[in-house]
Structure 1
Amino acid sequence: MKEATKEATRILVVGGGYVGMYAALHLQRKLRKGEAEVLVVSPDPYMTYQPFLPEAAAGSISPRHVVVPLRSVLKGCRLLVGEVSALDHAARTATVRTAATEEAGASALTVPYDELVIAPGSVSRTLPIPGLAEHGIGFKTVEEAIGLRNHVLEQLDIASSTRDPEVRDAALTFVFVGGGYAGVEALAELEDMARYAARYYHNIDQDDLRFILVEATGRILPEVGEEMGRYAVRELRGRNIDVRLDTRLDSCENRVVVLSDGSRHPARTLVWTAGVKPHPLLAATDLPLNARGRLKCRPDLRVEGVDHAWSAGDAAAVPDLTAHEPGVECAPNAQHAVRQAKVLAGNVLCSLRGHSLMDYRHKYVGSVASLGLHKGVAYLYGQKLKGYPAWFLHRAYHLSRVPTFNRKARVLAEWTLAGLFKREIVSLGSLENPRAEFELAAGTGRHPEAG
Structure 2
Amino acid sequence: MASVGVVAAKRILIVGAGHVGLYAALRLSKKLNLHEAEVTVVDPQPHMTYQPFLPESAAGNISPRHSVVPLRRELKRCHVLSGTVTSIEHARKVAIVQPIIGPAREVPYDHIVVAPGSVSRTLPIPGLREQAVGFKTIGEAVFLRNSVLDRLDVAATTTDPATRRRALAFVFVGGGYAGVEALAEMEDMVKGALRYYPEIPKDEVRFMLVEAANRILPEVGPEMGAYTAVQLTRRGIDIRLGTRLDSCVDGLVKLSDGEAFEADTIVWTAGVKPHPMLQDTDLPLSPRGAITCKPTLQVVDAEGNVVEGAWSAGDCAAVPDLTSPDPAALCSPSAQHAVRQASQLADNIAAVVRGRKPVDYRHKHVGSVAGLGLYKGAARVYGIKVRGLPAWFMHRTYHLSRIPTLNRKIRVLVDWTLQLVLRREVVALGSLHEPREAFTEVAVPIPLPVRSPDALGRKAA
TM-score, normalising length: structure 2: 0.93
1:140 to 108, 115, 136: 136
1:423 maps to a residue whose letter is R
- Number of the residue aligned with 1:381: 382
| Alpha-carbon offset, residue 291 of structure 1 | 0.4
Classify 1:5/1:290 alpha carbon distance in 2 versus 1 (closer, same or farther; 3 Å): farther
- In 2, the alpha carbon distance for the partners of 1:71 and 1:188 equals 34
Q: 1:280 aligns with which of 267, 270, 276?
A: 276
Q: Deviations over 1:340-377 (max 9, x none)?
A: 00110111111111101100000000000011111100
Correspondence 1:25 to 2:26: yes
Question: Which residue among 122, 125, 133 is the counterpart of 1:126?
Answer: 122
Determine the C-alpha separation between the residues in 1 that align with 2:328 and 2:244: 30
- Checking the alignment, whether the CA contact within 8 Å between 1:195 and 1:209 is kept in structure 2 is no
Match of 1:14 in 2: 15
Deviation, 1:269, is: 0.6
User: What are the within-5 Å matches in structure 2 for residues 62-211 of structure 1?
Assistant: 62-101=63-102, 106=103, 108-211=104-207
CA contact (8 A) 1:177 1:273 kept: yes
Q: Is the 8 A contact 1:173 1:210 kept in 2?
A: yes
Q: What SS does the corresponding residue of 2:216 show, helix, strand or coil?
A: coil
Aligned amino acid, residue 386 of structure 1:
R
Which residue of 2 is the match for residue 56 of structure 1?
Answer: 57
**Superposed CA offset, 1:89-139 (max 9, x none):** 0001111111121xxxx3x11111111100000000111100000000110
Deviation at 1:325, TM superposition (A): 1.2
How many correspondences in the alignment? 437
Could you list the per-position Cα deviations for residues 146-201 of structure 1 after superposition, in whole angstroms to 9, with x for gaps in the alignment? 00000001111111111111110010000000000000000000001112112211
Percentage of identical aligned residues: 60
2:317 is aligned with 1:316: yes
Q: What SS does the aligned partner of 1:225 have?
A: helix
Aligned-partner Cα distance in 2 for 1:132–1:220:
22
| 1:350-369 aligned within 5 A | 350-369=351-370
Amino acid in the other structure paired with 1:285? T
Give me the whole-angstrom Cα distance separating, in 1, the residues matched to 2:73 and 2:127. Answer: 41
Instruction: Give 1:160's aligned amino acid.
Output: A
Aligned counterpart, 2:243? 247
Aligned to 1:449: none
Alignment of 1:215-364 (within 5 A): 215-305=211-301, 306-364=307-365
Shift of 1:202: 2.5
- The CA distance in 1 between the partners of 2:238 and 2:69, in whole Å, is 36
Q: Is the 8 A contact 2:369 2:380 kept in 1?
A: yes
Amino acid at match of 2:156: S
Tell me the secondary structure at the aligned position of residue 287 of structure 1: coil
Give per-residue Cα distances to partners, 1:67-102, cap 9 Å, x unaligned.
Answer: 00111111110000100000000001111111121x
Q: Which amino acid aligns with 2:29?
A: Q
Maintained 8 Å contact 1:199/1:205 = no
Q: TM-score of the superposition, structure 1-length normalised? A: 0.95
RMSD: 1.1
Alignment of 1:391 onto 2:387 = no
Shift of the 443–123 alpha-carbon distance from structure 1 to 2, 3 Å rule, reads farther
Cα separation, partners in 2 of 1:329 and 1:399, compared to 1, 3 Å: same
Unaligned runs of 5+ in 2: 302-306, 447-461
Instruction: Check conservation: 1:199, 1:206, Cα contact below 8 A.
Output: no
C-alpha separation in 2, matches of 1:434 and 1:5: 54
1:412 Cα deviation from its structure 2 partner: 0.7
Shift of the alpha carbon at 1:52? 0.5
Partner of 1:370: 371
Aligned residue in 2 for 1:448? none
* Amino acid in structure 1 at the alignment position of 2:181: E
Shift of 1:32: 2.5
Q: Distance in 1 between matches of 2:444 and 2:274?
A: 43
CA contact (8 A) 2:377 2:387 kept: yes
For residues 99 and 437 of structure 1, the distance between their equivalents in structure 2, rounded to whole angstroms, comes to 27
Shift of residue 6 of structure 1? 5.3
Distance across 1 between alignment mates of 2:241 and 2:292? 33
Q: Which runs of 5+ in 1 are unaligned?
A: 446-451
1:436 aligned residue: 437
Spell out the pairing of 1:397-408 with structure 2 (5 A cutoff).
397-408=398-409
Letter in 2 for 1:336: H
Distance 1:173 1:125 in 2: 23
